[in-house]
Chain A
Amino acid sequence: MNNELYEILRYGILGGSILLILIGLYAALTKRSLIKIIIGLSIVDGGIHLLLIGIGYVKNGTAPIFSPGFENSTANMVDPVPQALVLTAIVIGFAVTAVALSLVIRLYRHHNTLEIDEIKNLKW
């Protein structure tokens, strides 16, 4: 891979991840449907995962696994720590989404609507 392509890819990943975060934030903050808010939160999570992966990428990188024939290629391995972080963050994001959806079910039973403007027993 030549230098130019690498730089384009690198900035593409970073820019794309920031774009995803912004799209998710827009959805979470402006949409009035509870389900759409949760989708927005998941998109923010996805953007951050991409950002972390982008940080750990190195030029001409290979998977950070020691396997036969690749014993001496540690210099080219991508950084494994962000990948471990992303795996953990995915699991956490899954748990939060599950809790959020179960709360939405409870809210729907209670109010018979998913519109956040109509669920106003408390001050927002």
Chain B
Amino acid sequence: MVGSPVLLIAIPLLAAFLIPLIGMIWKESVRLIPGLVLAFMLVSSASMLLYVTNNSTIIETIAGWQAPWGINLVFSPLTGFLATLMIFLGFIVWLFSYRFKRNVDFEPAKKYFIFLMMLVAGAVGIVITGDIFNQFVFIEITSISAYALTAFYTGRNSAEASFKYLLMGSLSSSALLIAIAIIYSQLGTLNMADIADKMYLMPTGYKITALIFFFMGIGIEAEIFPLNGWAPDAYTEAPGPIGAAFAGIVVKAGVYAMIRLVFTLFDIPNSMQFLVVIGLVTLIVAETSAIKQDKLKRMLAYSSIGQMGLVFVAFGIGTAEGVFAALFLMLNHAIIKPLLFLSGSYLVFNSKEKKISEVNGLGKHMPITSLLFALGAFAIVGLPPFSGFWSKLSVLTAAANEGMILIIALVLIVSVVEIVYYFRVVNRIYFFEKSDNVVVQKPRINAMIAMLILGSIILVIGFDPDIVSIYLHKASHDLMNTREYIDNVLSIGQSLTK
């Protein structure tokens, strides 16, 4: 075991604020330090994940205040799995964008990497914290860096997309704060385990009001249906690798915060059906919108929203199998969608409009990038030898075991829609003639390595899904077992007071 959970938050934050200082002395460090930090975090987080899979959950109390009073960090199989996944994605995004343009200035590169580090720190914080107000603070850190990264390019309409995101994000964070105020006024505690333990004391009316405000507050990061208006614009206007970071890091953190609420904090009986309903609505609305898009990144953004809908449907099945399927989907989405964003951003690199029609015939001119995009497209719709197949299969079997025929039918219909719009792009890449005014952009070597890593992971999981399923089973057991979570967190406090 290397390091401790608190380092996963402290080190990237420290690095984010040290980058400009060290950058004044040695300019290259601005690009190198984030990579070193993320590599260390990845090793540390992976080793802790191995430890918690075989032993007990790591719980760290901050500043010596025990569990119900102070802030604690919980590194369990579930949170550790998600944290490791996010840090890995952060590393891939860094590798891809290390020198993202040939002669990018020092200033933009500095800002870009500062915000990338803050994004990763905030997202990891959302996942491993055990305190709802602390989670609110991390959600704000993540959101503010996401607003800034969305507005990174001055030439595009990025400021508009970012303002739209900020408007929705700011209102929803207000809702989150109101929800926290309701919980605190009723239960007098902010610790998640303590809230879950005392939840039965809360009148049902307050409970439902708080849950609705929480949904409004967190749904925006998790891209659930009425709150995802920011996503298509932000994904389109942000730099390509940042789209990958949104899909792989920010959204995963939002989904985690949501399921922690529903599974652990609130014991409202019908909330599972509610998850299924919002998941299905999100899925259907997003996939039907995706098929109408003529811009590549916008289509990918809608597809990303749709996948999150499917994740919520799988969580809403409510059994351990359903949770396993949902976590598997999250893992696959976190690997495949960044691959699509990264390779897609090179396919439309030099075009102004980023239209799908501009990828015509690029298969001959940029063979590896096109192949990787096609691989991602095949994997995300769930064709058999790739990783996406296993997650979709596990959703369907979990639904079948519960007799939810409607879910199976809808998921299959939506898969057909997905196949239509992804294969349309792949068809254009390989079987259309390239028009003369499209300028081909060769990927840089570091970007190529980043994409190849993601592509090979898709193949490895596709051929041997068992190498990840042990972690996923542990994580789903961890999420389902609320009592164990509460006892784990609160017993630490008791043992210290004795």
A and B co-occur in one complex: yes
Residue of B nearest to A29 (CB): B171
**A88, A95, A99, A119: which contacts B160 (Cβ < 8 A)?**
A119
Residues of B within 8 A of A95 (CB): 140, 144
Cβ–Cβ contact A89 & B159, under 8 A: no
Cβ–Cβ contact B180 & A85, under 8 A: yes
Residue of A nearest to B186 (CB): A55
Cβ–Cβ contact A99 & B147, under 8 A: yes
CB proximity to B under 8 Å, residues A70-119: 81-82, 85, 88-89, 92, 95-96, 99-100, 103-104, 106-107, 110, 119
With A41-B170, A92-B140 as contacts: A52 and B181 at CB distance below 8 Å: yes
Residues of B within 8 A of A13 (CB): none
Bound-complex Cα distance A41 to B157 (A): 23
Interface-forming stretch among B161-169, B263-271, B410-418? B161-169
Cβ–Cβ contact A121 & B140, under 8 A: no
- B interface, size bucket: 20 to 34
Query: B174 near A: Cβ within 8 Å?
Result: yes
CB proximity to A under 8 Å, residues B120-161: 133, 137, 140, 144, 147-148, 151, 154, 157, 159-161
CB proximity to A under 8 Å, residues B170-184: 170-171, 173-174, 177-178, 180-181, 184
- Do most interface residues of chain B lie in helix, strand or loop, or is the interface mixed? helix
Cβ–Cβ contact B170 & A100, under 8 A: yes
Residues of B within 8 A of A107 (CB): 159-160, 163
Cβ–Cβ contact A100 & B163, under 8 A: yes
Cβ–Cβ contact B160 & A121, under 8 A: yes
- A interface, size bucket: 20 to 34
With A44-B171, A45-B174, A106-B154 as contacts: A51 and B159 at CB distance below 8 Å: no
Cβ–Cβ contact B137 & A88, under 8 A: yes
Query: B185 near A: Cβ within 8 Å?
Result: yes
Cβ–Cβ contact A48 & B177, under 8 A: yes
Residues of A within 8 A of B180 (CB): 85
With A48-B178, A100-B166 as contacts: A81 and B190 at CB distance below 8 Å: yes
Residues of A within 8 A of B178 (CB): 21, 48, 51
Cβ–Cβ contact A122 & B161, under 8 A: yes
Query: B60 near A: Cβ within 8 Å?
Result: no
Residues of A within 8 A of B237 (CB): 122
Cβ–Cβ contact B144 & A37, under 8 A: no
Bound-complex Cα distance A124 to B233 (A): 9
Can you list 15 residue pairs at the A/B interface with Cβ under 8 Å? A37-B167, A41-B167, A41-B174, A52-B177, A55-B184, A55-B185, A85-B133, A96-B144, A99-B144, A103-B151, A103-B162, A119-B160, A121-B160, A122-B164, A122-B233
Q: Closest 3 interchain pairs by CB?
A: A106-B159, A121-B157, A55-B185
List residues of B whose CB falls within 8 A of some A CB. Answer: 133, 137, 140, 144, 147-148, 151, 154, 157, 159-164, 166-167, 169-171, 173-174, 177-178, 180-181, 184-185, 190, 229, 233, 237
Other contacts beyond A51-B178, A99-B166: 17, CB < 8 A: A28-B171, A41-B171, A44-B171, A48-B177, A55-B181, A55-B185, A85-B133, A85-B184, A88-B133, A95-B140, A96-B169, A100-B166, A104-B163, A107-B160, A107-B163, A121-B160, A122-B237
